[in-house]
Chains A and B, each alone.
Chain A
Amino acid sequence: MFDSTKQLTLGGNVRDFQWTNPHCFLQILIQRSGATQEWSIQMDNPQALYRKGWRPGSVKAGDKLTVVIHPTRDGSHSGRYVSGIGPDGKALLDE
């Protein structure tokens, strides 16, 4: 489903951080060509993220993030989380 040979960097604001099974999702609003796009970024499950130090409040709605993803092969606005930079300019925790 994800093209792990490709990486895409997205910058935008968090609309929602879904702390759910079987995967957490970052919903990010991206501005492109004057239009707003919503991207769904799949992450690991809450247990795996919790073990790395993530918590449900690690990312909040409105936070400005830059994330690197492996995009989905079908070309939809979605992908698999690879890494990210938080509002403070620091790298987000690993998955």
Chain B
Amino acid sequence: MPTYLIALALVMLSGPVYAQTNNTERIQRFSTLPNWSGIWETELSAQMDSGELDQAMMEATRHPERITAVLAPRGVLLPAEVAFLSRQQLIGEPPYNAEWERRFQRLKREVLTTPASAVKAGTVKACGWEFPLIMESPTDGVFEVLVTPEQTLLLFADGQARHIYTDRPHPAPENLWPTDLGDSVGRWEGDTLVIDTVQRKAGPLVRIPHFLSPDFSAEAHFTERLRMVSADAMEDQMTIDDPARLEHPWVVTLRFRRVGNLDRLIPTDCTENDRFRVVKGKETIR
């Protein structure tokens, strides 16, 4: 038999054997991981779907005097929008250190005293939710979870994907730079995925002019404990540590529920057919 035929036969035989060995190991590792497959949504997305949020927004429209949250200059956001946004835990007030508390109070005074007329029409528009707010988004907060031995993927309706690598550490600091979602790695503690996220872009959680939301540095460190608490519910205990700005770590507990009325992830997008326009200073549809 010619040598090249022997070599070809060896290659053909060795490939499948190697793949089989690899698959067996991987299947064994898969079998130790929790099954989080399916479509999930944030608590606010669930409230939106059930109509609960609509009710709260209608109520706010009927009784705007009851709205006390300070998020934007009075008159810029509709009472219904304030009712909606102020439900987000992550748009609360973090335990700032003295310097940032002073800054926060100054911004709050500015927001309260800025007349609505000073805000350019159309600038207050929620579009795009970055980390960590994507974990509490009412509109894009529908996601699928894919757990593999190498990483856990959170795939959001707006196309964003959180890659949480469980088989490697963060890259060396010199190979990291701030991004919208940061860099995430994880480790399993039983059925709880402990996620470590660094290098989120510095700045407020909502990047809209005149809008008041927590502001973190690029050194902020996010630790999440993600676990299933029942067949249809997950919980994410998120601890935000930012020594440059916070007096002590800020802990919020976010909840997710399994989506029963979607058979697949339907994409969301805020640009495809955005007919919102500002014409002669007035918001309208074109």
* Complex CA–CA separation, A45 to B266 (angstroms): 10
Complex interface: chain A residues within 8 A of B272 (CB): 20-22
Chain B residue numbers with a CB within 8 Å of A72 are 283-285
**B17 CB, nearest partner CB in chain A, Å:** 45
B267 interfacial by beta-carbon distance below 8 Å: yes
Known: A74-B282, A76-B284. A47 touches B273 (CB 8 A): no
Q: For the side of the interface on B, what is the size category?
A: 20 to 34
| Chain B residues with CB under 8 A of A22 | 127, 268-274
Judge whether B268 and A74 touch: CB under 8 Å: no
Provided the pairs A4-B80, A25-B273 are in contact, do residues A51 and B285 lie with their beta carbons within 8 angstroms? no
Residues of B within 8 A of A60 (CB): none
> Which A residues lie within 8 Å of B58 (CB)?
4
Contact: A47 with B266, CB < 8 Å?
A: yes
Total A-B Cβ pairs within 8 A: 68
How far, in whole Å, are A48 and B18 apart by their CA atoms in the complex? 46
Interface size on A, residues (CB 8 A): 24
Query: What residues of B have a CB within 8 angstroms of the CB of A25 in the complex?
Result: 273, 275
Task: Check B232 for interface membership: any CB of A closer than 8 A.
Answer: no
Digit string of A1-40 for contact with B (CB within 8 Å is 1, else 0)? 1001100000000000010111101000000000000001
Q: Is the CB of A23 within 8 A of B273?
A: yes
Question: Does B142 lie at the interface of the complex (its beta carbon under 8 Å from any beta carbon of A)?
Answer: yes
A42 within 8 A of B: yes
Contacts of B262 in A (CB 8 A): 47, 50-51
What residues of A have a CB within 8 angstroms of the CB of B127 in the complex? Answer: 22
Q: Is the interface of B mostly helix, strand, loop or mixed?
A: loop
Measured CA separation A76–B49 after assembly (Å): 29
* A5 and B49 within 8 A (CB): no
Given the complex, which residues of B lie within 8 Å of A46, measured CB to CB? 266-268
Nearest CB of chain B from residue A26's CB, rounded to whole Å: 12
B243-286 contact mask (Cβ, 8 Å, vs A): 1 or 0: 00000000000000001011000111111111110010011110
Q: Which residues of B contact A23 (CB under 8 A)?
A: 273, 275
Residues 49-87 of A contacting B (Cβ, < 8 Å): 50-52, 72-74, 76, 78
Residue of B nearest to A45 (CB): B268
A51 touches B261 (CB 8 A): yes
Q: Which residue of A lies closest to B283 (CB)?
A: A1
- For the complex, is B166 an interface residue (Cβ under 8 Å from A)? no
CB-CB under 8 A for A74 and B275, given A4-B80, A47-B267, A50-B262: no
Say whether B285 contacts A40, CB under 8 Å: yes
Whether A50 lies near B274 (C-beta < 8 A) is: no
Chain A residues closer than 8 Å to B284, beta-carbon distance = 1, 72, 74, 76, 78
Is B48 close to A, CB under 8 A? yes
Distance, CA A4 to CA B142, complexed state (A): 27
Q: Which 5 A-B pairs have the closest CB atoms?
A: A20-B273, A47-B266, A21-B269, A78-B285, A1-B283
| Chain B residues close to A by CB (< 8 Å) | 48-49, 51, 58, 61, 80, 127, 139, 142, 157, 259, 261-262, 266-276, 279, 282-285
Q: Jot down 11 A-B pairs with beta carbons below 8 A, ordered by A.
A: A1-B285, A4-B61, A21-B272, A23-B275, A25-B273, A40-B275, A42-B275, A47-B268, A48-B48, A51-B49, A73-B283
* Residues of A that sit less than 8 Å from B by CB: 1, 4-5, 18, 20-23, 25, 40, 42, 45-48, 50-52, 72-74, 76, 78, 94
Q: A21-B269, A25-B275 are in contact. List 5 more A-B contacts (CB 8 A).
A: A1-B276, A21-B273, A23-B275, A46-B268, A73-B283
